[in-house]
Structures are given as C-alpha cells and as structure tokens.
Amino acid sequence: MSATSSSTADPPSPSPSPSPAPSALSASTSKADKARMEKERAKIARKRARLVDPTANLTTRVKSLVSLVQHDSEEGCGELFANHHALVLQAFTDTMGIHDANAKKGKHCTEKDIKVMQTMLRLISLHLSSDVRDPRTNRQMLGLMEKMLYIENAVSVRQTTFEILMLMGEAFPAPDDQIVKLLISSLHLVAFQGEAGLIAILPSALSAPDKYSAYFPGPVSGKNECRDFLELYFHYTARSPTAFNFWFPTTRQILALLYPDVSALIEVPNTHPDHGFKKGSCPPELQAVVESNLCTWLESDKLCPILLADPKQYQLVLEVYRSCLRMPSTLCKTISHCINTYATLFIYNWKTRQLPNMTDILNYQKLILEEMVTIFGFSVSKNPSDHVIQDAVIKYFFQMIEAYDSLEPATRTVFLLTLCKCATTLITSATASVPSGEPVKGVLIDTLLTAWITSKMTEWPMWQELHKCLEACAQCNMEVLNQIKIKLEHLSNLLIDMCYPLAVKLKTPAATEGSDTRKQKKDTVLTLESRDLNAKRTNRDPHLEKLPLQVDLLTWLWHAVLHSFTNISQFKSPKNYEGGIAVITGIMDMFLNAEELAEIEKPVITDSKRLPLYRVFCPYLFEATVNDESRSGGTSLAFGSLCRLFCRTYPAVPVQLLSHFYTALRRGLKSNDKNVWWQIIANGYNMFSIALPGSCILIPYFLPRLKEMLTTSTSSTPPYGKQKCIAMLSSLICFPSHFPNLHLNTYPPGSVLTSVALRNFVQDTLTAALGQCTSVDTRISCLWSLTVCIFENCAHWNSENVADLIQVVLVCAGSEDVVIARTALQCVSLIGNISKKLPQDLLTNIFETLCSYISPNKISEIAPYIYFCLCDWVISDAVSETFQDKLFQAIEFGLSFGEKQEVQEVHSLVAARPAQADPSVSDKKKGLLSSKKGLMSIRPRKEPSGTATSGAQPAVASNAPPPDSAAYNENDPSDKRVTLREAAEILLLHTLHFFHNFPSPEGIDMWCSQINETDDGALEEHATYWIFNNMLILTVLPIPKMKNATARMIIRDAVGKWVWDFHNVNTIGETGLPEGVITAADQPVAEDEPSAKDRRTKTIMTTPSLLSSNNKVSELLARLETQHPELLQWVPSFKDPSVILAPIQPALDQIEENLESFIQSERSVTTIHPPHQHGQFPQPPPPSQPQSPVHYTRMILQQLGLTSPLSPIPPLLDRISLSDKFRRNITLLDKTHGREVYKLGLIYVAEGQETQNDILANTQLTASNLYTDFANGLGWRVDVSTHRGYLGGLDKNQSTGHTTLYWANSTLEVIFHEVVQMPTVESDPQQIQKKRHVGNDFVHIIWSDHLRDYNPLTITSQFNDAHIIIYPLPNGLFRIQTYKKPTHTVYGPLQSGMVINKELLSTLVRETAVNANRAISAYRNPDAYTRPYLNRRRYITETIDRYKSDAPYLTNLTSVITGLVQQSTTTPNNPGSQPPPDQTAQGNS
C-alpha cells in the first residue's frame, strides 16, 4: 500500500539520504557483532558435540578437532583438552595418520595444516602434561615433531616445532633424554662438517628418509639456520629463571659440544665425548651467539647465580671468554661487549654482586686481564676492526685507572704487568710497523704510563719491568718516545709548580732572536739573543693534576720515568737514539727555564726540593758525547744540552764538573762532525761572555771552528748559526788588551796563541765573514763588531792598526745593499768620536772615500746619508785644509742636483757661451761660488696653476743619471724621505754654523737662541717678517727699551733660531746736536733744488767717468764679466750702466712719480700758509730722535744689501702675509727641535732584585760605586731647575729629581731618566712617578748586579721596545745583553754577548741606545720620521708656501721705505693644514 500511494504522488525532489546517527550506528553494529558471536559460539558448540559424540565416525571427529583448534579460543581449547583428553588424543592420532597416509601418496601438507598440527601439539603440551609423559603418547608426539624438524622442511616450520618441542620438554620434571637428543639434533651442527676444527657430530635422525616424508618442504638448512636455532634455544631458556634452571643441564651439554675440552675438565656429562669441536675451534658464528647470551646471563642478577652455582662452571665461563677474545676482529662489537661484561663482573662489581664461590677471584681476574693481551696480537693489523677492539680495551684500561684505588693489591700488580705485556705485544710484533696502528700505540703507551704513575708504586723491581717494556718498545717505534716525553713534561710541570715558584708573574712570552724562533705574538713580544726565558708550559694532564702527590713522591716518580732511558746507548736505530736524547734534553730545558724564572734560593736553605740538574742529566749527556759517527744526531744534541747546562750565570756551576765539561767540548771541537760544532757554538756562544772559570783554555779550539763556520757556505748551516759565531768572536774583542800576557797552546798544536795573535785573528775573521756571509743581519753584526774593534785598538793599541778595519767599513759604505751601506755609514759616523786619535793620512782617506761616493756617475738612495755622515765628521773638528776642497765639491754637487727647471734653462744658456778660463781663479773659489749659487738660487716661476716647475739636472751634473724615482718623489708631499739637495743644505748649514764653533760660549746645551719677538720690550706690532731665498724666515723689529741695541733680527732656518741685536754707534748724542752743526746765519743761500729725475740724470751722466778704462772698478767689472759668465744670466753686460739699470727702469720711474707727487703736495701746503710778513725767520729746532718705529729695521735691511734695487741679481727678499695662523705656525716652529732629542731610561738592579717594585725603589744610596762611575760616563750631571736644553718631560720644579744625566753634541741631545736620582715615595710601592717616565722610554739601559740575567718583562709598557743590559764580570770586564722586538732592525755597535772593558763601556752604551732609539722611531712612524733639521727645513718650506705675500717686490720695498707695515689679511694658500709634529717626540711625557 505504501508503494501505490507513492507512485501516484508527484516525485519528490532529489536529496541526499540522511546518515544514521553515531549512537544508532554503534547500536546496529553491536547487534550485528552479538549476532555473529552467538552464531560462532553455536557453531563451536556443535563441533564440540560432534568431537565427543561416540557415535560419530573418524572423519567427523578429525574435522571437528581441526575446526575447534582453528576457531575456538585458547581457554576453550584448554578446557576441551582437559575434559576430553582421551578423545582429543585419539582425534590427534587419527589426524596424524591421515597426514601420514597423504604423505605416502605424495601429497604434502598445506601451511594451514601444518599450523593446525603445531597448535595441537602446543595445546597438548600445555594442557595434557600427564599424557605427554606417557611413553606411547610421547613417542607419537616426538615422532610427529621429528618429521616436522626434518631439514627438508621449511625453516619457519622447523623453528615453530623447535619451540613446541622445548615446551613439551618442560612437561617433564627434568629434561627428557629423547627430547634433549632431538633438540641437539635439531641444531644441525652437521652444517659445519667441513670446518677443520670439527671432530664429529651426533648421528642425525632429522633427515627425511625419502622425498615424501617432509610435511612442508623448503630450502635445506645451513650454517645461518644453525646459528638461528642456537640463538632460539638460548633465548627460550633465558625467558625466566625457572626455565633457565630447568634447561641448564641441556645448555651444559650444548656447550660441551662447542667446548669439549673444558667440559671434560669440569666433568660436564656428555654421552658422546668424542663429538664436538677441538679446543679453540668452535666456529665464530656459534661463539658469537654463545658469548652474546652468556654476557646477558652474567649481567642478570637472577640468572648469574644459577650459571655460577657450581664452582666448576667458572672454568667453562672463562673458557668462553678466552675463546671470545680470539674470535675474528670482524666481530668487534661482540668482543668489546664480552670484555666489558667480564671486567665489570669479575673486577669491579664482584663484591657488590655477591657471587657464589669467589674464593679464586684473584685467579679469575688475572686470567681476564692477561687474556686481553691477545687483543693486541692480531695478525692482521690493517683491519680497522682490530683498532676498534683495541680502543675498547684501552678504554677499559683507563676505567681501571680511574678505579685503581678500589682494586686489590694483587690485582693492581697484575693490571700493571698486563699493560706492559699489551704494549710489548702491540709494538714489537711483526705487524707493528703498520702505519694505521700508530694512534693506538700512542694511546696505549699513554695509558701505560698514566697507570704506573697513578699507582704511586715505589717498588723498584716493578719499575724495572716497566723500563724493560719501554726500552723494547722505544727501539721499535718513535711514538713511544713521544709519549714518554709528554708524560715527563706532565710530571715536570707539576714539579716546577711545586719547587720553582716564579719570581715575577709572566705577562707575555719572549722568543729568541737569532735562534730557532718559537711561535710568538705579533709585535708585543721582546726578543733577545739568548734562550727563551718564558717558555710556555704545555702538556697539562688533568688526570695527573688531580692526583694527591707530595713533592717527595712526585720527584721519585719523575726519576722513575726518566730512568726509562738508562740503557739508551743500547738503542740500535740512530733515529730512535736521537729521539731519546731529544726527550732528555727537552726535559732538561724545561728545568733550565724554570730555574731562570724562579726565585733565588737563599744559601741558608738546606732542604731544597729543587732537582740537582747536574747530577741528574750529566750522566746521560756525558755518555752520549762518546759515540760513533752513525749516531751524530744524538751526539750533537747532547753537546748542545751540555753547553746550555753549563753556560749559565745562575746557579753557579760545580767546579768539579768543569774539567769533564771542557774535556767533552775539546773532544767535540776536535771531531769532524760539523753538526757537533754548530751545537756547541750555538748553545755555548756566551761561554766567554759570562766568564766561565777556566774557559780560556778552549779559545784555541774554538777559533778554527769559528773561522770555518763563518767563511764556508754550507746548506746544513742553521739560519742562526753564523750569528752565534759572530757573538762568540765579539766576546773576545777586549780579551787581548785585558789579558796582555795570554799564552795558550793552539790547536792543531805547534804554536802559541798570544794576545796579539788573538786580536788579529778576531779582526781577520770578522773581516772575512763580512765579505762571505750572505745574511744581512750577520753582515750588520760584523760591521758593528769591527767598529768596536776600532775603538778598542784606538784605546789600548796603536791606532795605526785600525786603517785596514776602517777601510773595510768604508768599502761597505759604498755597497749596493742599502741596509749594509747605511749601517756602514753609521759606523763611520761613530768613528768620528775618536777622530783625534787617528793619523792625518787616515782621516784624508776617510773623507776622500766618502766624497767619492757622491759623484754624477753614482747617485743612489744612500747618498743623502753620506752627507749626514760628513756632517758628523765636520762637527768633530776632523776637517783640515787638505781635504776641504773635496768637502765643498760634494756640497756643491748636492746643492745643484735638485734645482728647478728655470735654473736648468739659465745654465743651458751659460753653457752655450764660450767660457774664458782664467788660471788665476782657483777651483776652490769656483766651487764656493757655485755652492752659493746653488744655495741662493732664484725663486721658481709660478705656473698658472700655482705650482712650481719641476726640478732639472744642473749643468755640472748634465751627464749624471736621473735620481731613482723609487727613492724619493719630490712632487709627492706625503713622501718624507730625505732628498740629496736637503742633505747637502744641512751639511753646508752645519758647517757654516758650527765648524770650529761648537759648543758655543753659552754651553753645549745652548744650541740656538731662545729669544722670541715679545722679549726685551720689543715692539712686536712693528715686527716685519721676511722670506729670504725661500729658505729663511727673517723677523726684524725695533727694541727701543733695550740698552745698547736699537733693532733685532731673528733668523729661523733648518738648523735652529738665531737672534742678532744691532746698535748704531754713530747715533746722535745726548745733546741732540751733531758735531759741526752750521747755524742759520752761516747757511748759504740754497739754489733751486733739482727734481729727483734731474738728480738721477746727473748721477747717470757721471757714471761713464767712473767706468773708464783706467778706473779700478771698470777693470773689476770687466774681469767678473769674463771669468764668471754665469753672472750674465741677469744682465747682458756690466760695462753699460743704462743696461744695468734697464731691468729696474720701470720700477724707478714709478718711484720717481711717487716722490714728485709727494713734493707737489708739500708745495701746495705753502700756498695755504704764506710766509711771515714781519720779523725774523724762526730758527730750526734741535734735531730729534727718529720717530718712525721701523727706522732702524729699514736701515739694517738696506745696509745688509737685502733691499737695494741696484743689486746685480734679482731680489731675494719676500714679505709674509701676517695672520694669527702664521704666528701660531712660528710658535710651533720654535718648539720643533733643531737637534735630535732622545730620552733614555737608566735603571739600576741590585743583587736579589727581580720585581718592578724593588727595582724602582732604588735610590742613590743603594746604587753601587761601579754603577755610579758608569753613569757619570754617559753624560754630564745637570741641574734640572736651571738646565736650558732638552728635559724629556722632567719637571723644572724638581718633583722628578734635582739632577740628571745629559749629553749632547751638534746633532743630538740625550736626557737620561735615571731611576736612582728620582725621588722615592715610601707610601707608593709601585713608584708611579718613576714608572711614568721610565715606562714611556723606548730604550732602557739596565745595570744589573743581580746573580742572573735580567728579565726584560720586569718593567714593561707599550713603549719599552729595546733593552741594553750591562753585567759586571768577576774578571773586570762587562757583559752586554740586548733585547729588541723582532720587527726592529739590528742596531749597534754593542751586540748581545759582547764583553767590553771599562774605558769603552759608557760611550758605546750611549751610542747603542741612541741608534736603538732611531731604529724604533723609524719603525713606529716610517712614513713621517725624519731628522729634526730636515723636519724644520720642510716645515719652513711649507710655511713659506702658505704665507708668502703675493705683492710685487717693489711694493714690499715701498712699504719698507715709507715705514708703513701693511698687515695683510690675504688667506694663505693652505690655511687648514697643520704643521708636522715633532718626529723626535717619544712616548707620553
């Protein structure tokens, strides 16, 4: 009905059918599941009924059982099997019969059938245990399982059946023999039948008799399946302690097959003892399974007691461990796991685990440790897996080290000896040379040494075992020596920290100059020519530092490790022998450095903990010096170390050992091994400089080796070797004069070495080395050493002997190497200090040689420095009449070398005219005239751009090559290098100023005037500033208030500032009337005064009479025109006055017009004021003083010829545009020094002083008399409050001391910041006032009375770049030591290692300090540093260029004549530029 009604109605619109609600869906699903489950339960119930129905046939029962097994639950099947076990067994038997019948017909079971049967077997084993134990049922079930375990069946079928078989076995109270037999047979050990170690296998009943017997055929099982079945068995047995305990007898039987020998020893029951594997032949695959599961059992707290319940089981467990360690390295993970498990159980945790039967635990531990040696004896060391295992063992060893204190004493001994065996096995084995094993070897040796040190053992027999091990290993492998070295460094660092407290806290490490330089920091590091005092302590071992070691025990352990080298002489390999000696010497150097930095031990200390270095190291080193040539490397190292050990200033060398030391050195120097020579010289070069007692006997043995080293070139020469040779030779320079009676037997024997022979040898060898050495630093050292020889000869020997040495230095001054040439010129300048001791012919040779280097054919970068050298010699009063010509010719060449283009054009015109030479005119006059022309050259024409034309070559140097453009760029204002012309100007100015005129009567500190424009009441507002010849700045100003002076001229040039006061002696007297004044009555009637033009015309008309042929003036003009044609560059002829006046005729006409207009203005005044009509003419008043303030300044300029318009040459005077900026520039110019100024720190170090506070606290009372004598030789003691020279920041109010040392000559000033003269503030331990001055000095001069060498880092700042240290020696000489930064050039004359006598010490120290200061200043500011007079010269030039007035010369002349000083407000050319700073300023004052 519902259908009909729906068909007649309209069709509804399509819409999606609504989804059922979730609750409705779940309800419907639940109902469906319940219905299905009810249906299943009903079906299972019907099948149960069929199974138990006695009337049902066999087929029905079997199908019902199969269906129930497949579909019923575990509980349901269990209940069914328990309640109806007879029917179930009968059905099961019938099912097996059906499958057997099908198998005979060739029909195999399906996988579903197999699973059903396996399920039945499992259920029967679980629920019908009593029936299982029935022999008949058991036999049936085993039969079925055996068929399922046939190897022809699939593996999955066999594995499941294997598990059911073990489940079935657990139905018995003990493992059933048949089941055990079937289990063992199921392992299928026959798969390893081909293994060499296999004895026999149990008869296998698990192979199908025919092809139809297998239920579910599959691939035949192999070795992998055997391993899987064994793993399955162990896994099943370990699922619970009960199961493990039940199956443990079976497990023992299986292990008896794998390890039959051990099983027999521990009496494991084995029904077939002749079956299994040989000892140690168990297949690795099976061993890995056994070991993996055994470790799991041992790690389990529940299984391990069961496993080890029987004491005999330990043997089996250990046999498994032993076999495991011999497995292939490919099983590295298993082996590592085994080692860790056994070690943890038997060594670490055996007490906490409370294992049974541990009476023989020590034997077990010994076996476990000793068997680990096997790991390091693998025959194939190229396999990376080998190293993985070895690393694991080493890691375990280190864990034992961490827990060393918890080990039993016997175990500790076994552990230490085991480590020795492992190291010996690994390194001395046949495969020890494989490179891939080097890291493992190093780690093992490190662990070995760490363990022995951690043991703190003091039993010497035990340590001998370690020594045997290390000796054997060290002979085979260098890495062993490296590890011993590292460990010794660890112990040495600990020992140094305890026994060698630092005297001064280290700030930055220092490195050695001239030796094998170690890594240093950039520029903050001072270098020295001795050993590294501040060697960085490396190789810190955190483990060793944690050990609570006392000094005595630490020292004992240190000696014990060092004794590893007791038999080092027995090393067969020369390389390893050398490496061993290197370790010993390296450790010795650590303690040498420690002793040099540690506090000085007081003599009263008797229980010193410091090592007796001589007693410790001398036996090794003396023995190493006696070897054949094959071990030359180690022998040379031993000689070098002996020299470092004995050639020290502190502590004192035991005298009883010196004879052995000298004997060894004689043997080394007499050998033919150059490496031995190098080591002796490089490390013992200071032997003579420290005055080692009796060392003079070695001089004859050293001399031939030094000569051979310096005069032969070999590739094996170390880079610092020749520098050390020079230092040793330099230490002998003063020996001949100090020991005049020296007589030594020479080597080779045959003659006697006297003091004269020694002197000649040293000088000749230095000369030869200078010519043959290629190193610049070595040649510089030779030059300075030869200079010291020259001083020494002049002081104590005949000065004529120095001619050859000076000639050598002069030859080097002309070297093409700029560095060598400049150093040689510095040496020549220094020799000028002793010029009065040199013969005249030698002085002539010096000047001629120097001047010969300045010629048109030889222009080099070094030429300007030759002028500086000549300047030093000129001021030394060494210039005589015989070679003044050479000097002025050199000056002339230098002045004319840099002339401008305009001068070249004039010279070209002059050169084109035929010159008429007059033999009556000397070359000297020509030269002087040319020099004047060069010095007073005309101003260059200004180009439209405002720049001067470029310079050109003068006529005198027309054939000279152009100057090296790389040397100096004259057009580049940033180029601060000196030019040839500037150097020549300086030489000429110094000659004119100071030749035979230095010091001045005012004193050596008065270089130039200190008077300014504002002094003495001068009228500064009327001062006129002039430029003379573009070189000088002149200031002329009146001084009306000063007695005996009316005007003052201040001259500023490159040399300094000079002031001249002028007084006119013919000025009007006190009456105001000059003598012979004519009264008005006596005056004649004056005629009409002619005009200025008429007067000039009359003057010109009378000129020809003066220039007649009979007139003397005419003759003189004619001669000038003929002999000096260069003067015609300004006028065509001197004979025609009109021609002479022609160039200035326009200017004269202008002046005439100005004067006539002035006269006309005067006459116009008379028309306004007519003359008196009545009375007498008034009498003129008395003459008055000049009213113009510039009257006398105008007179001075005129009378000096500077403003004369009739001068035959163009005017040389220019005005300056005055401004405040110009006056500031003048003030700064006056502050620029005319001489080099240096401040040097002078420090005294008393005995026992090593800290900055102690040294700076010294006063004049604490200083020694010898130091005072030395200081007084450095300079003159001046009063700071009245001193007029350079003070270097010292306070005139005497807050920095009352007196100080000062020294000066014509080129430099030196002030000394003497610490002992500065006031000491008791409340300030740091003495900041002293440190403020000394800390800002570039160079320190230190006098040290201390026992050992001064540390240059004691007083440091960012400015202390060089140190010169003097040590008084017991023999009356003085040792020199110099320190510098590696970036600075080598300076002299004193070099590190020199020994100087008292007569030369002060002078050479001062000169060395000055040269060091110059080098440092040049390095710190290489682009701007110049000599002060060059700086002044360029500053004056810049000032002239900025402030020179642009007004014409005649305008300037008019202002002088009229007395109008025009203040120009013209902006200078470069007002914003600042004057260059004083380049000689040092530090921060």
Taking only the tens place, the pLDDT of each residue in 824-873 is 999 999 998 888 888 888 888 888 888 888 877 666 778 888 888 888 88
Give the pair of three-digit tokens for residue 850.
């120097």
Q: Quick check: helix, strand or coil at residue 291?
A: helix
Name the band, by pLDDT with cuts 50, 70 and 90, for residue 85.
low
3-state secondary structure 774-801: CCHHHHHHHHHHHHHHHHHHHHHCCHHH
Give one DSSP letter per residue of 77-142, joined into a string.
HHHHHHHSHHHHHHHHHHHHHHHHHHHHTTPPPPHHHHHHHHHHHHHHHHH-HHHHTSHHHHHHHH
| Mean pLDDT along residues 1004-1029 | 79
* pLDDT of 1480 above 60: no
Q: What is the average pLDDT score of the chain?
A: 75
The pLDDT value recorded for residue 1429 is 80
Q: Quick check: helix, strand or coil at residue 318?
A: helix
| Mean pLDDT along residues 510-529 | 37
Greater pLDDT, 1070 or 871 = 871
Instruction: Determine contact, residues 1098/1111, Cβ cutoff 8 Å.
Output: no
The pLDDT value recorded for residue 960 is 33
Taking only the tens place, the pLDDT of each residue in 1037-1055 is 888 766 666 788 898 888 8
| Mean pLDDT along residues 1079-1098 | 40
Phi, psi of 1375 (to 5 degrees): -90, 140
How far the first Cα of the chain sits from its last, in Å, is 126
Greater pLDDT, 1143 or 802 = 802
Instruction: Look up tokens 């192999």; give the residue.
Output: 222
Taking only the tens place, the pLDDT of each residue in 720-776 is 778 899 999 999 999 999 988 888 887 777 778 899 999 999 999 999 999 888 888
Greater pLDDT, 699 or 380 = 699
The pLDDT value recorded for residue 572 is 87
Name the band, by pLDDT with cuts 50, 70 and 90, for residue 239.
confident
* pLDDT of 383 above 80: no
The pLDDT value recorded for residue 213 is 58
Name the band, by pLDDT with cuts 50, 70 and 90, for residue 1485.
very low
For residue 512, count other CB atoms closer than 10 A to its CB: 18
The pLDDT value recorded for residue 175 is 85
Name the band, by pLDDT with cuts 50, 70 and 90, for residue 973.
very low
Greater pLDDT, 755 or 1385 = 755
* pLDDT of 114 above 80: no
Instruction: Determine contact, residues 1283/1303, Cβ cutoff 8 Å.
Output: no
Q: How far is CA 771 from CA 764, 768, 774, 778, 1393, in A?
A: 11, 5, 8, 11, 22
The pLDDT value recorded for residue 1037 is 84
- For strands 511-512 and 527-528, give the pairing: parallel
Greater pLDDT, 1146 or 575 = 575
* pLDDT of 1224 above 60: yes
Name the band, by pLDDT with cuts 50, 70 and 90, for residue 816.
confident
The pLDDT value recorded for residue 1410 is 93
Report the C-alpha gap between 589 and 238 in whole angstroms. Answer: 63
Instruction: Look up tokens 């070099």; give the residue.
Output: 1391
Instruction: Determine contact, residues 1456/1229, Cβ cutoff 8 Å.
Output: no
Name the band, by pLDDT with cuts 50, 70 and 90, for residue 820.
very high
Q: How many CA atoms lie within 13 A of 398 on its CB side?
A: 12
The pLDDT value recorded for residue 24 is 44
The pLDDT value recorded for residue 662 is 94
Phi, psi of 1276 (to 5 degrees): -100, 145
The pLDDT value recorded for residue 1003 is 77
Q: How far is CA 1350 from CA 203, 502, 528, 593, in A?
A: 93, 14, 11, 13
Q: How many CA atoms lie within 13 A of 393 on its CB side?
A: 30
The pLDDT value recorded for residue 1367 is 95
The pLDDT value recorded for residue 782 is 93
Q: Calculate what percentage of the chain has a pLDDT beyond 70.
A: 68
Residue type, 1302: Y
Q: Calculate what percentage of the chain has a pLDDT beyond 90.
A: 21
| Mean pLDDT along residues 1346-1372 | 89
Name the band, by pLDDT with cuts 50, 70 and 90, for residue 1033.
confident
Instruction: Look up tokens 């020479």; give the residue.
Output: 746
* pLDDT of 431 above 70: no
Give one DSSP letter per residue of 481-536, joined into a string.
HHHHHHHHHHHHHHHHHHH--BSS---S--EETTSSPPP--SSS--EESS--TT--
> Which of 645, 499, 649 has the alpha carbon at shortest distance from 584?
645
Report CA dihedral (568, 569, 571, 575) to the nearest 10 degrees: 90
Greater pLDDT, 695 or 939 = 695
* pLDDT of 1220 above 80: yes
Report the C-alpha gap between 515 and 530 in whole angstroms. Answer: 8
Q: Quick check: helix, strand or coil at residue 1400?
A: helix
Instruction: Determine contact, residues 1218/1291, Cβ cutoff 8 Å.
Output: no
* pLDDT of 1278 above 60: yes
The pLDDT value recorded for residue 1056 is 85
The pLDDT value recorded for residue 106 is 65
CA angle 530, 531, 533 (to 5 degrees): 115
Report the C-alpha gap between 340 and 356 in whole angstroms. Answer: 20
Greater pLDDT, 805 or 1110 = 805
Peptide bond into 651 cis (omega under 30): yes
Greater pLDDT, 663 or 132 = 663
Name the band, by pLDDT with cuts 50, 70 and 90, for residue 1104.
very low
Phi, psi of 198 (to 5 degrees): -85, 125
Report the C-alpha gap between 62 and 53 in whole angstroms. Answer: 12
